[in-house]
Amino acid sequence: MYSGINISQTDARPMYLQIMEQIRARIAAGDWPAGKELPSIRALAAALNVSVITIKRAYLDLENEGVIVTRHGKGSFVADVNGLAGELQEERLAEHLTRAAEIGQSLGLTLEDLEERLRRARKNLDPK
Amino acid sequence: MDNKHIEMRGVRKSYRFFTLDDLSLDLEPGQIMGFVGPNGAGKSTTIRLAMGLIAADAGEVRLLGHLLPENQAIAKRDVGFVSDEMRLFAHATVGWHMNFIASIYPGWDAKYAATLIKRFNLKPEQPVKGLSHGEHVKALLMLSLARRPRVLILDEPTSGLDPVARHELLTEFMDVLRDDSRSILFSSHNTVDVERISDRIVFIDRGRIVDSRDKEDFLERWRRIQLQLAPGAILPELPNIVGRVVDGQFVTLTTNHFSNDLLARLGPTVREVHRMSLEEIFVASVFHHREVAGQ
């Protein structure tokens, strides 16, 4: 039983984000190693008293982040970070860039403006 | 393929002072549907229609594929129904009711009944008249659950219960849903319970469905946005704004169609963006719906 995952009613974040955060923490801590099978969606929903659709949403987003992989009909597993996760990260980057281009267009930014902003964002990541 | 557990299409039911109209909803296998509305919105009428207890004036109601109310006897073999208005026989014991239900329904699961008796801390030898309200509801639910019906229809199951009893009930509902061929329709005005366990949510007000969608969809679409306009600036017309409160330079917008494009259009005037609880969404939807309908 996975009762160690807590959902707080006073936490302003939605329930699926709270669940994602706690799963990520378990993976980061090494408690859930690569390849470990996650509880099924319905089992976790029953254990946490949370709707199936909320758990589905959390698993789907973790999958999009490359943290877990879901094999159809077999269940969800903690991803091997060097393998499939890389591809998923690629896809995610492409998606975000498309979104950025769309929003840039709706704001009337030129391509040069966008490039400059990306450069600045990149610089802000780097403490040097 | 038509395997919907409950299907209502264009249903109307008129009473002298109340009309339920244009009601359509689908309950899919494996789903918990929360049916939310103010008192007198038509929740119980809808549930009675879904159970075939009353006949619709127009439209179609199907329960497990069977047309109601004509074929209700067949449909109900696989349906459990609990309403907070239901009463067990006061002078009989809980155990007497268990034997009674077991004699009618061949699917009665005595082992599961015993488990539920223990979990709910009920005593089979206790007469019904000595039960508290919470125990009475739990006894009703135990009698329904132990038949292992495919569909559970619950009219205000948690109303009037203390937090501990409510938690016990919700746990039991979620346990049922481990099996993805079963489903639950429950009505409530407790939006906290609904928000927690429902997959699909239907809002009803004054006999009409106000909105109906997946829970996560509701929570993703609604936002409250606080803006600070430049002095003298006027907010442009924006789509999908259902509420707007202006206080000097400060504006609070409520949207039911939040998107990054909307944020981009509002630009640097945005101070804060807040998610909304299901209760806030429900209240805002009802008021918006009444406003649009000119009521």
- Residue A42 has its nearest CB partner, among B167, B178, B200, at B178
Closest CB to A45 among B174, B192, B260? B174
Rounded CA-CA distance B250/A103 in Å is: 25
Residues in contact with B22: Cβ distance below 8 Å, sequence separation at least 6, in sequence order: B10, B11, B12, B208, B209
Q: Which residues of B touch A99 (CB under 8 A)?
A: 260
ipTM over 0.85: no
Enter the DSSP assignment of A81: T
Is residue A45 within 8 A of residue A58, CB to CB? The reply is: no
Higher pLDDT, A117 or A84: A117
Pairwise CB contact (< 8 Å): A12 & B275: yes
Question: Smallest Cβ distance to A52: which of B30, B192, B275?
Answer: B30
Q: For A79, how many CA atoms within 13 A lie in the half-sphere containing its CB?
A: 21
Render B224-273 in DSSP notation, one character per residue.
EEEEEPPTT--PPP-TTEEEEEEETTEEEEEESS--HHHHHHHGGGEEEE
DSSP A69: E
Instruction: Note whether B216 contacts A46, CB cutoff 8 Å.
Output: no
CB-based burial of residue B237 (10 Å sphere; 0-12 exposed, 13-18 middle, 19+ buried)?
A: exposed
Q: Are the C-beta atoms of residues B44 and B76 closer than 8 Å to each other?
A: no
Chain A residues with CB-CB distance to B198 below 8 A: 51
Please report, for residues B169, B205, B292, the alpha-carbon distance to residue B8 in angstroms, rounded to integers and kept in the order given. 27, 17, 25
Chain B residues lying within 8 Å of A50, measured CB to CB: 174, 196-197
Say how many C-beta atoms besides its own lie within 10 A of residue A81's C-beta: 13
Q: B154: distance to nearest CA of chain A, Å?
A: 17
Angle value at C-alpha A90, between A88 and A95, nearest 5 degrees: 95
Mean pLDDT, range B50-72, rounded to an integer: 93
From its phi and psi, is residue B237 left (phi > 0), alpha (psi between -120 and 50) or beta?
Answer: beta
Lowest-confidence pick of A77-86, B132-141, B188-197, B216-225: A77-86
Q: Are B197 and B174 in contact (CB under 8 A)?
A: yes
* Yes or no, beta carbons of A51 and B180 under 8 Å apart: no
What does pLDDT average to over chain A?
85
A106 touching chain B per CB within 8 A: yes
- Chain B residue whose CA is closest to A50: B197
Q: Is there a cis peptide before residue B163, judged by omega within 30 degrees of 0?
A: no
Cβ contact, residue pair A53, B216, below 8 Å: yes
pLDDT of B1 strictly over 50? no
Would the pLDDT of B242 be above 70?
yes
Contacts of B166 in chain A (CB under 8 A): none
Q: What is the distance in angstroms between the Cα of B201 and the nearest Cα belonging to chain A?
A: 11
Q: Taking CA atoms, what residue in A is nearest to B179?
A: A42
Chain B residues at the A interface, defined by Cβ less than 8 Å, are 30-32, 167, 170-171, 174-175, 177-180, 192, 196-200, 214-216, 219, 260-261, 264-265, 267, 274-275
Q: pLDDT tens digit string along A57-113?
A: 999 999 998 889 988 888 999 988 655 455 656 777 888 899 999 898 888 889 999
Nearest to A51 among B32, B171, B274 (CB): B32
Q: Which pTM does this prediction carry?
A: 0.81
B208 touches B249 (CB < 8 A): no
Residue type at B164 in one-letter notation: V
Query: Which residues have C-beta within 8 Å of that of residue A128, sequence separation ≥ 6?
Result: none
Task: List residues bridging with B252 in a β-sheet.
Answer: B226, B245
Q: What is the mean pLDDT of chain B?
A: 92
